């Protein structure tokens, strides 16, 4: 066979191998990685529906002790959590022992302590479900229901990096005011027959309180991570400037990812792939406000990027803010496991899974149908972006095998 013919045959073989890899990872079951990811997906599906009113049995541990033991360097909760429904039920019903103004931040929240000493963050309802937040993609108040929905999306995607969240109704007169600190009590007021409070934060104003319907306030509770896992805050490399007329470098430099790859902790370890996973997560929920992020302290870059503060999400179902995906389309790389999971959620499976997961929550319906439809539409956009990367540089340079499972201490 002549050299030219051999080269043609070799190129054809390489092309077929590349196409085979794309096929096997595009929802197929032919590789060990995709088979493993399919088994994980089936486990997620089996545990997606949660029982209302579930209680812990056959254990002397509190729900807070169980949830604390779940936390590890690479996950907030494990793949299989038969006690999850009981822990969330306890979050939504445990007696409130203390109420105080929220920890530092820009948005209104309250810090509650539940029976047994468990700290939680309470974010009050500010909008009706069908309210559309116009303007910049990071505009508006925090959305409490977005925290609930984001937690369940984290479960569905298999990331397991978001703290536990549940919706809850609280009676401000009987559950909060009797145990509130003077600082929190001083921010309570009445608007007509409705009890309101404005708390203490950067943007908190007496003129813009959160109000209950009468005395009953809807909100979300986020479980505080264990104190044995102190957090470290990082500036997001793809953060916005929030200044009119001033762009961040990533907004005009298409080679920006190459510079990020040279900076710790993105030059080694899982952190850059975590950032890209987070970009996909944030694009799906419409969160353009992740200017900082948290990991565990002294992690040497091995800790997960923790998906905290997801309340600037699900504001406008018609807006698909593509710039949120900049880490993905500028770096053109993604975990194999993420790619496989995304493909398993195509064709309406994502919105169907969200409906199933959210049906458990006490404040359901958590999302309106337009927001659920937006999840499926945005997922198609993510998959199309990854396919463009594979076409430009090949699947071997795009799909990265990275499955860090660090042991619990």
Binding residues: 107, 123, 142, 222-225, 294, 309
Q: Are strands 165-171 and 216-223 parallel, antiparallel or unpaired?
A: antiparallel
- The whole-angstrom separation of Cα 199 and Cα 109 is 7
Residue with structure tokens 């948290």? 294
Residue with structure tokens 């979300």? 220
Q: Are strands 110-114 and 118-124 parallel, antiparallel or unpaired?
A: antiparallel
Chain-centroid distance of CA 210 in Å reads 24
Backbone phi, then psi, for 348, in 5-degree steps? 90, -5
Per the annotation, binding residues for Mn(2+) are 142, 309
**How many residues belong to the chain?**
409
| Nearest to 225, CA basis, from 104, 114, 71 | 71
Is residue 402 part of the annotated active site? The answer reads no
Please pick, among 26, 37, 282, 289, the residue that the annotation labels catalytic.
289
Per the annotation, binding residues for ATP are 107, 123, 222-225, 294, 309
Q: Can you tell me whether residue 98 is helix, strand or coil?
A: strand
Q: Give DSSP secondary structure letters for 61-98.
A: S-HHHHHHHH-BTTBSS-S--TTHHHHHHHHHHSPEEE
- The whole-angstrom separation of Cα 343 and Cα 25 is 8
| Nearest to 401, CA basis, from 77, 31, 20, 153 | 31
- Catalogue the active-site residues: 289
């Amino acid at each position: 066979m002549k050299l030219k013919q051999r080269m043609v045959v070799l190129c054809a073989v390489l092309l077929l191998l590349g196409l085979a890899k794309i096929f096997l990872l595009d929802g197929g079951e032919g590789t060990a990685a995709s088979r493993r990811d399919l088994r994980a997906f089936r486990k997620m599906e089996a545990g997606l529906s949660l029982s209302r009113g579930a209680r812990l049995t056959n254990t002397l541990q509190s729900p807070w002790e169980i949830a604390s033991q779940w936390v590890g360097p690479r996950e907030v909760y494990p793949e299989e959590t038969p006690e999850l429904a009981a822990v969330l039920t306890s979050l939504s019903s445990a007696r409130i022992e203390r109420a105080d103004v929220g920890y530092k931040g820009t948005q209104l929240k309250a810090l509650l302590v539940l029976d047994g000493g468990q700290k939680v963050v309470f974010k009050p309802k500010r909008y009706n479900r069908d309210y559309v937040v116009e303007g910049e993609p990071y505009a508006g108040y925090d959305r409490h229901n977005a925290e609930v929905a984001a937690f369940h999306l984290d479960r569905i995607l298999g990331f397991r990096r978001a703290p536990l969240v549940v919706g809850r109704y609280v009676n401000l007169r009987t559950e909060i005011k009797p145990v509130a600190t003077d600082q929190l009590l001083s921010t309570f007021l009445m608007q007509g027959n409705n009890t309101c409070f404005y708390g203490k934060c950067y943007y908190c104003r007496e003129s813009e309180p959160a109000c209950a319907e009468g005395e009953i306030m809807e909100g979300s509770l986020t479980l505080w991570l264990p104190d044995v896992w102190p957090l470290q805050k990082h500036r997001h490399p793809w953060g916005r400037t929030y200044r009119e007329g001033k762009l961040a470098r990533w907004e005009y430099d298409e080679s920006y990812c190459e510079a990020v790859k040279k900076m710790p902790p993105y030059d080694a370890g899982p952190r850059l792939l975590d950032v890209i996973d987070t970009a996909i997560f944030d694009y799906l929920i419409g969160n353009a406000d992740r200017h900082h992020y948290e990991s565990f302290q002294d992690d040497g870059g091995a800790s997960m990027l923790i998906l905290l503060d997801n309340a600037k999400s699900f504001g406008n179902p018609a807006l698909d803010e593509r710039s949120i995906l900049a880490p993905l389309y500028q770096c053109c790389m993604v975990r194999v496991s993420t790619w496989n999971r995304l493909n398993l959620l195509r064709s309406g499976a994502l919105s169907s899974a969200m409906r199933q997961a959210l049906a458990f929550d006490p404040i359901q319906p958590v999302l309106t149908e337009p927001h659920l439809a937006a999840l499926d539409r945005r997922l198609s956009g993510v998959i199309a972006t990854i396919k463009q990367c594979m076409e430009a540089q090949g699947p071997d340079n795009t799909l990265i095998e990275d499955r860090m499972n660090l042991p619990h201490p």
